[in-house]
Amino acid sequence: ADDVARPKPDPDVYLRAAQLLGVDPTRSLAIEDTPTGVAAARAAGMRVVAVDRGYFGFHALAHATRVVDVIDAHG
């Protein structure tokens, strides 16, 4: 976050990370757990897996490519 001028939900942090890794953001996957993070990654053109940890609810994370419930992740 210190390497960009604008914080999430602006996509700068994800665009910078992709640049540093030498990858195309549109061919990247972000993992997020907040609506702001989902919005930032989507604005960068990335696919997003949102981890619903029970703080925001499914609807707040619905703009992600896929939402995974943390309870499902732990079996």
Predicted confidence at residue 73, as pLDDT, reads 52
Instruction: From first to last of the 75 residues of the chain, give the pLDDT tens digit.
Output: 788 999 999 999 999 999 999 999 999 999 999 999 999 999 999 999 999 998 998 899 999 999 998 875 555
Q: Contact at 8 Å (CB) between 69 and 60?
A: no
Concatenating the DSSP letter of every residue in 4-37 gives SSS-TTSTHHHHHHHHHHT--GGG-EEEESSHHH
Predicted confidence at residue 3, as pLDDT, reads 83
Predicted confidence at residue 72, as pLDDT, reads 57
Predicted confidence at residue 57, as pLDDT, reads 81
Q: Contact at 8 Å (CB) between 26 and 52?
A: no
